[in-house]
Amino acid sequence: MPKDHGIGAAQKRREDVRFLTGAGQYTDDINVYGQTYCHFLRSDVAHGKIASIDTSAAAAMPGVVRIFTGTDFEGVGGLPCGWQVTDKNGDPMKEPPHPVLAQGKVRHVGEPICAVVAETLEQARDAAEAIELEIEELPAVVDMKAALEGGAAKVHDDLSDNLCYDWQFGSETAAVEAAFASAAHVTTLELVNNRLVANPMEPRVAVAEYARANDESTLYTTSQNPHVIRLLMGAFVLGIPEHKLRVVAPDVGGGFGTKIFHYAEEAFVTFAARQINRPVKWTSTRSEAFMSDAHGRDHVTKIELALDAENNFIGLRTDTLANMGAYLSTFASSVPTWLHGTLMAGNYKTPAIQVNVKAVFTNTVPVDAYRGAGRPEATFQLERLVDKAARELGVDPIKLRRQNFIESFPYATPVAVEYDTGDYVATMDKLEEMIDIPGFAARRAESEAKGKLRGLGVNCYIEACGIAPSNLVGQLGARAGLYDAATVRVNATGSISVMVGAHSHGQGHETAFPQVVADMLGIDESMIEIVHGDTSKIPFGMGTYGSRSLAVCGSAMVRATEKIINKAKKIAAHLMEASEGDIELQDGMFTVAGTDKSVAWGDVTLAAYVPHNYPLTEIEPGLEETAFYDPANFTYPAGAYACEVEVDPETGKVTIERFAAADDFGNVVNPMIVEGQVHGGLAQGIGQALLENCVYDADGQLLSASYMDYAMPRAGDVPFYKVDHSCATPCTHNPLGVKGCGEAGAIGSPPAVVNAVLDALNNAGHNVAHIDMPVSPHRVWQAMQG
């Protein structure tokens, strides 16, 4: 019998009603009295010296309120990076300044140079065209290898070169070299993890207002983490104390990482609103989004695997170039290092692993976390490599994986992390059943009868969610804590507001979080409401990214609810003149164990706020508790994915025929939402594998600058997916036993797709070792030409 209540119930989402009726309130739906509109004049060259800016004619245009340039931001802070990575030589990473508006130079197409604030948007655009701007174009560095060569143009003149850091991690070089020296077989693969654009369907928007009466600024912004924005913008950029700055992220139309970061535009509108004493609004167009939202991925990697004569993995070595773009975005530096290197063991007991990463500045849009952030890059290279090894050795790729699985937990990897639980055999067993391996030969024959090639690709993945604990990540360079917070406010009549630091922008927290509290208290979910997204209402929390919301913020909510229960039991004990230790809470009723005495939830909550009969000398009135939760470790969701493709050998077109995902997310609060998260991740991973590619030309012009050239996955590009999360090994160190499910689909799916295409081609006699993503018809056709 499926549950209809509490933890484990597939409850319908309460937030859907407003979204389905057009009543959602996104940032662009917010307009403030007296509002002005902002348009940014952006660089149309990748690299250049700003020779002159003359705004005088533009400033005289109708409706113009004020025009801002980089000069207005002299003495104002730049956009900070939140993670300090240390070079293998012990030096700190290079951290060039990142101005709100360009100062002296422009470093990527799309960098804001001037901002025009006017009465209407079209007036602002008209005036921007009248700005006389002279830029002396400089040679652009786009390709990472070329950027590191001697004599390459420098993105930042004050730095010695374009290398941000050279990072090394994992086993000692000698141990890895010894493994390779003793190997019976070494498999090597060079590959690209293609640059992507996150493309949440809601473009970014920022609206700022300033109340001169009390010197308070309010920023409405499309953010996954309003407190992070308040901290970074207030403390590092604009110097506004936090109690004078409110950041609100209302309904947000998808994030996928790209709405974590603190952007120039939101700092600008907040600054400008104070300067002109009027509200300022900026709404990104999709075209602007392509050149101003942080991009994702963009790694070039060489990876090598050493195997012994029995096909055991004995050593792994990687060498990656990671594109940072022109400036360090908020968490850019952590993605190719701590979110990537720590996952290189995958699901395998390889004893010696070394990861090398060079982060490179180029004249492109900054690159930062995108769904999975570092973990998809790790998974893709490892799982492509294992597949290649299997083909070279002539062994079954599933068997090779199984042979090398980690099977006992906890397991400390050579790349610093300790997996608490997992059962990779179980998820692989489940996957084989879901994809129907025995039926594959017949399906392949059917495809061949139609003139098509069919391939099956399988891979495993591991990810790390809820990155923590704060004292560890602090040692690793994080400039923030990675806890989260929740306040449970029980009202007099028994209804509850839970104020959470996590932010819901599609994840369904408003539905799933009450299921946890309701389960603990034994009351109906409808009595509980989640409040999020407004720094003036919620405790200081770090927001939503890295599949952390339930594991970290949910745990804080559990701890706060436990405090509520403890206090409520004291009140109940007083009301029933019983001993606190005898009070039990079940189904919303407090009872005295072994008696028929009981008081209802509502009696206790009313007593807390109308404390006429109340132990005032022992406890305070009221019923409201806050908890901050700092996890002891990451959580480690893992699983096995399989994809079946058909390839049209004449055109190279790949179609996905079947996709199956067997995940271990630990315990699950709302299976409907979890499955939806996996579906969405799969489409993004399939998009990366087959369709999406963010491409610059040699001059640093963005070629895939709109949906006309950046191929978003559409309904016809994907199949119905089979997903399963029954092989659950609960997390051992958080109170809910949950692991996180938001990124798994995007992490686990790209290698399955590419492995499937290569299986189809090799089975048909094409000797193709690898095709870079996206595996477009053109690339498949080229590969088949030999």
Partner 1 sequence: MYSFDVVRPKSVADAVAALGEEEAQALGGGQTLIPSLKQRLAMPSVLVSLASIDEIKGVSSEGGAVKIGGGTTHGAVAREVASSYPALAAMASNIGDPAVRNRGTVGGSLANNDPAACYPAAALASGATIVTNTREIAADDYFQGMFTTALEEGEIITAVSFPIPEKAAYIKFEQPASRFALVGVFVAKFGDGVRVAVTGASEEGVFRWTEAEAALSGDFSAAALDGLSVPADGLMTDLHGSAAYRAHLIGVLTKRAVAQA
Partner 2 sequence: MTKVTMTVNGKSVSKEVRGNMLMTEFLRDELHLTGTHVGCDTSQCGACNIHVNGENVKGCTIFAAECDGAEVGTIEGQANADGSLNAIQQAFQDHHGLQCGFCTPGMVMSAASLLKENPKPTEAEIRHYLEGNICRCTGYHNIVKAIMAASGQDVSSIAAE
Greatest pairwise CA separation for the chain in angstroms: 86
18 binds, among partner 2, partner 1, none (CB under 5 to 8 A by kind): partner 2
Q: Phi/psi of residue 698, each to 5°?
A: -65, -20
Which has the closest alpha carbon to 625: 575, 567, 542? 567
- Given candidates 3, 66, 125, 286, which one binds partner 2 under the rule CB under 8 A? 286
**651 contributes a contact to partner 1 by CB under 8 A:** yes
25 lies in the site for partner 2, by CB under 8 A: yes
The answer to whether residue 673 forms part of the interface with partner 2 (CB under 8 A) is yes
- Minimum CB distance to partner 1 smaller for 122 or for 136: 122
Q: Is 581 exposed, middle or buried (0-12, 13-18, 19+ CB in 10 A)?
A: exposed
Question: 572 vs 690, which CB is nearer to partner 2?
Answer: 690
- Write out the binding residues for partner 1, residues 88-147 only, by CB under 8 A: 122, 125-126, 129
**159, containing H or E segment:** none
25 binds, among partner 1, partner 2, none (CB under 5 to 8 A by kind): partner 2
Q: Considering the complex, what minimum distance in angstroms separates the CB of residue 134 from partner 1?
A: 21
Is 355 within 8 Å of 340 (Cβ atoms)? yes
Pick from 6, 13, 599, 624 the residue near partner 2 by CB under 8 A: 13
What's the rounded Cα separation, in Å, for the pair 59 and 36? 15
3-state secondary structure 668-703: CCCHHHHHHHHHHHHHHHHHHHHCCCCCECCCCCEC
Q: How far is the CB of 203 from partner 2 (least distance, A)?
A: 7
Is 526 a binding residue for partner 2 by CB under 8 A? The answer is no
Scan residues 186-205 and list those touching partner 2 (CB under 8 A).
Answer: 199-203
Question: Which one of partner 2, partner 1, none is in contact with 650 (Cβ closer than 5 to 8 A by kind)?
Answer: partner 1
* Torsion, CA 758, CA 760, CA 763, CA 767, rounded to 10: -40
Residue 565's H or E segment, with its range, is: helix 555-575
∠ CA 510-665-752 to the nearest 5 degrees?
115
Tokens representing 214? 């009390």
Residue closer to partner 2 by CB (options 181, 708) is: 708
Give which of partner 2, partner 1, none residue 704 binds (C-beta under 5 to 8 Å, depending on kind).
partner 1
- Shortest reach from residue 128's CB to partner 1, in Å: 10
Residue 450 tokens read as 């139609």
- Residue closer to partner 2 by CB (options 210, 721) is 721
In this structure, what token pair is assigned to residue 425?
């055999």
User: Phi/psi class of residue 750: alpha, beta or left (left: φ > 0; alpha: ψ in -120 to 50)?
Assistant: alpha
Q: How many Å apart are CA 405 and CA 226, to the nearest integer?
A: 40
Stretch that binds partner 2, among 106-114, 188-196, 580-588, 682-690 (CB under 8 A): 682-690
Give the strand order in the sheet containing 299-307. 163-170, 353-361, 313-325, 299-307, 185-193
Q: Which of 40, 165, 220, 256 binds partner 2 (CB under 8 A)?
A: 256
Give the per-residue contact string, 460-499, with partner 2 (x = CB under 8 A; - = no).
----------------------------------------
Count interface residues toward partner 2 (CB under 8 A).
60
Residues 672-711 that bind partner 1 (CB under 8 A): 691, 693, 695, 703-704, 707-711
User: Which residue, 218 or 684, is less far from partner 2 as judged by CB?
Assistant: 684
Closer CB to partner 2, 286 or 563, in the complex: 286
Residues 237-296 that bind partner 1 (CB under 8 A): 285, 287
Min. distance of Cβ 129 from partner 2 in angstroms? 16
Residue 21: how many other CB atoms lie within 10 Å? 8
* Interatomic CA distance for residues 641 and 748, integer angstroms: 6
Q: Amino acid identity, residue 109?
A: V
Name which of partner 1, partner 2, none residue 256 binds, using a CB cut-off of 5 to 8 Å depending on partner kind: partner 2
Distance, in Å, from the CA atom of 376 to the CA atom of 685, rounded to the nearest integer, reads: 9
Q: Does 412 bind partner 1 (CB under 8 A)?
A: no
In single-letter form, the type of residue at position 274 comes to R
Q: Which does 724 bind (CB under 5 to 8 A by kind): partner 1, partner 2, none?
A: partner 2
Burial 486-504 (b: 16+ CB within 10 A, else e): bbbbbbeebebebbbbbbb
C-alpha–C-alpha distance, residues 98 and 107, integer Å = 10
Q: Could you tell me how many residues of this chain bind partner 1 (CB under 8 A)?
A: 26
Using the rule CB under 8 A, is 62 a contact of partner 1?
A: no
| 676 binding partner 2? (CB under 8 A) | yes
133 CB-near residues (< 8 Å, 6+ apart):
41, 50, 52, 53, 54, 113, 114
469 to 140, 294, 331, 478, 672: CA distances (angstroms)? 40, 26, 17, 11, 29
Q: Which is nearer to partner 2, 193 or 199 (CB)?
A: 199
Shortest distance, position 716 Cβ to partner 2, whole Å = 4
Nearest partner of 422 among 682, 732, 660, 735, judged by Cα = 732
Could you list the beta-strand ranges (E) of 521-612.
528-531, 583-586, 589-592, 598-600
Q: How far is CA 421 from CA 64, 106, 426, 699, in A?
A: 60, 48, 12, 48
At residue 507, what is the residue type? Answer: Q
- Contact between 497 and partner 1 per CB under 8 A: no
Pick between residue 223 and residue 292 the one whose CB is nearest to partner 1: 292
- Nearest distance from residue 361's CB to partner 1, in Å? 24
At closest approach, how far in Å is the CB of 124 from partner 1? Answer: 13
Which stretch, 281-289, 293-301, 540-548, 761-769, contacts partner 2 (CB under 8 A)? 281-289
216/717 with CB nearer partner 1: 717
* Binding partner of 505, given partner 2, partner 1, none, CB within 5-8 angstroms per partner class: partner 2
Range in contact with partner 2 (rule: CB under 8 A) among 21-29, 165-173, 353-361, 626-634 = 21-29
Kindly state the smallest distance separating residue 110's Cβ from partner 2, in Å: 15
What would the DSSP string read from start to end of 222-278? --S-HHHHHHIIIIIII---GGGEEEE--B----TTTTTS--HHHHHHHHHHHHHTS
- Choice from 712, 718, 764, 769 touching partner 1 (CB under 8 A): 712
Site pattern 103..142 for partner 2 (x: CB under 8 A): -------------------x--------------------
Residue 21 binding target from partner 1, partner 2, none, CB below 5 to 8 Å by type: partner 2
Q: Could you tell me which of 515, 509, 740, 677 has the C-alpha nearest to residue 9?
A: 515
How many angstroms separate the CA atoms of 255 and 547, rounded? 12
664 binds partner 2 (CB under 8 A): no
Residue 712 CA to residue 742 CA, distance in Å, equals 19
* Residues at the site binding partner 2, with contacts judged by CB under 8 A: 12-13, 15-26, 28-29, 122, 199-203, 251-254, 256, 285-287, 434, 505-508, 672-673, 675-676, 679-684, 706-708, 712-716, 718, 720-724, 745
* Residues at the site binding partner 1, with contacts judged by CB under 8 A: 122, 125-126, 129, 285, 287, 650-651, 653, 691, 693, 695, 703-704, 707-712, 717, 776-778, 781-782
